Amino acid sequence: MLFNSLHFYVFCLIVFPLYFFLQEDKQRKLLLWSSVYFYACLKVAFVPLLLLSFIATFIGSIRIFESEKQSTKKLWLYFVLLVNLGILVFFKYTDFLRSILHDLGVNGSNSSEFKAIGFILPLGISFYTFQAIAYAVDVYRGLLKPERNFSDFSLFLLFFPQLVAGPIMRADVLIPQFKGRKLFSKENFSLGMGQIALGIFKKTMIADPISDFIEPIFANPANYDFAACFLGVYFFTIQIYCDFAGYSDIAIGAGKILGFNIPINFKRPYLASSSTDLWRRWHISLSTWLRDYIYFTLGGSRVPLIQNYFNVFVTMVIGGAWHGAAWNFIIWGFICGVSLTVEKFFIEFGYEKYFLKIPKVLRITYTFCLFMLGALFFRSLNFDLAMVMLKRILTLQTTGIFTINYILFIPTGILFVIEVLEETKLVSKIKESGLYQTVRVPMLASIFLVAGCIYTVTASPQFYYFQF
């Protein structure tokens, strides 16, 4: 089931009211089976894979906790990692690894053309796999006691608002929230509807129209001049944010209505004044996951300086590979890793003070442009097309088609104003004004109505991160 569909509207109209009429244990059961239905609507054939991952993680984590010997604990942790990463690697990376072996000439085939098997990637597999791994590692580290009720444990991994595309939740944050009966709250409902409306605005009014505009540019950049290629990269950078942050907003809003606090996943990343700052604001649940379970495992900052730089770099490359089984994602991770490592070098040796003397607007522009460079590779269909587009931009190629959709600047401009107001703390004062209280309900209703009309006449594209 997609958040951006009439199906989800109907789903919420049935599940949400029913949820508040039930007692505590029935509420959890309703959430569990609603989440199963939510995922099955996307692809019912992958439900058994979910079950396999859940059972392995559930049993393995209990064994980790109960084992007295450290070696036994480690074996059970390896078991959980093997099952979860094995499923992930099989479905997501098999063809990529085969293509590498083919290029190296070690696949034993006489054919010069590589033929992919073409496995269908289970939706949300990267998200729930990382969530399951974090759970088992936290138990192993002694930070968490394993959940003994399989239904509650399954609900932790299945919880429909964040099941398919995050935020990646931690057990110590979400599982305790399942305890106790949830009562309807007007405040939670108001906050949740506002968050959902913001997410729909980002996805349906900004990300989807941008997708239609940039698709032909990225499909064949050689046909377009440097300005069109630049606009393609610029608008994709906006699209990926609005698409993913839009999903997170809807997830947070839906959870809030049901009485759950799902952590914020994006915090105005394009107003960051450095790459380090941006990664504290962008996909926060993944950034903290990579920090806690990759960077710290490699030794974090408790190692010699050169090794620390290496740890930062490798962590970001792994983050790039997490996004997709292709070289363009690894290059994206490489660019992110280099930018963070270079900034860390300047900070360590006291050069940051010179960077801070640069006007903040220029630092924000530099950070955004650097992220755009990574976005070019992230979105490109392959490395060759990425290099064609990059070359046309850098050499200011004027031959080719110039195209632009001026209407796209209207919703993106509105969002920019909203985020600047939030960044400068002025939005809280505006929300307290009588004018805002007067227009808020009609404004939210308009967003839901327009989106509903769009979903009625056309199928809104699925969220970009569903492919990961």
> Could you list the active site residues?
323
Grouping H, G, I as helix, E, B as strand and the rest as coil, residue 404 is coil
Contact 24, 180 (CB under 8 A): yes
CA distance 251 to 318: 26
- What the block records as the tokens of 70 is 């450290």
* Residue 401, phi then psi, degrees to nearest 5: -80, 140
Q: Which of 132, 171, 184, 169 is nearest to 248 (CA)?
A: 169
d(CA 344, CA 26): 50
CA distance 51 to 122: 13
Region of 369 please: left (phi>0), alpha (psi -120 to 50) or beta.
alpha
Report which of 7, 448, 66, 121 is spatially closest to residue 253, judged by C-alpha positions: 448
Q: Residue 410: phi, psi to the nearest 5?
A: -70, -60
Beta bridge partners, 401, equal: 224
Q: Which residue has the tokens 């110590």?
A: 172
Angular region, 425: left φ>0, alpha ψ -120 to 50, beta rest: left
The amino acid occupying position 353 is K
Q: Which amino acid is at 168?
A: I
Q: Cα separation of 338 and 315, whole Å?
A: 11
Range list of H helices, 258-382: 275-278, 284-290, 305-323, 327-348, 352-356, 360-379
Question: How far apart are the C-alpha atoms of 225 and 404, rounded to whole Å?
Answer: 12
Angle at 162 between CA 205 and CA 22, to 5 degrees: 110
On whether the CB atoms of residues 272 and 278 are closer than 8 A, the answer is yes
